[in-house]
Amino acid sequence: MLIYLIGFMGCGKTSIAKRLANKLNFDFLDMDDMLEKEYHITISDLFLKYGEEVFRKLEQTVLQKTLSMVNTVISTGGGNPCFKNNMKTINDNGISIYLQLSPKMLIHRLENSKKPRPLIKKIPEEQRLKYIEELLKEREKFYLQATHIVDGANIEIPEIIKLLEI
């Protein structure tokens, strides 16, 4: 069984995926980490040297590679489900869980996060909330296709496990 955690940058996909995998005794995979290891480049350098389009192609390839895995909780990159038919690929092959958070909570969490986010970095600070609001609106068209939608502000791992019915 494959479980994909999806949602905007900073919504907590990686930490929830790790905890969920631990409880279920599943493997854990972070797709951004996998991409960096496979292609020997950091996401920041990838954006800088080759641009977003190349990044989107590589993250699609990484998604394809997850399809042959078994019993794994996968933390996707925030944009992954929103490009190249990836949301359909995810739902055709696994269960998806959208961690939903408001733009205000997201920006707060992003401000306190150590992970570099090239898409956010390039936006002047005073425009970031508006940027997040607009991008989230576009992306929710995809995120809301998830099998399950959970409130990212109040996540209880046992509640997620109940939803999964396993």
Q: Which residues bind ligand S3P (CB under 6 A)?
A: 9, 13, 32, 43, 77-79, 115, 117-119
Residue 116 CB, nearest distance to ligand S3P (Å)?
7
Residue 118 CB, nearest distance to ligand S3P (Å)?
5
Q: Which two tokens stand for residue 7?
A: 């949602």
Residue 105 CB, nearest distance to ligand S3P (Å)?
14
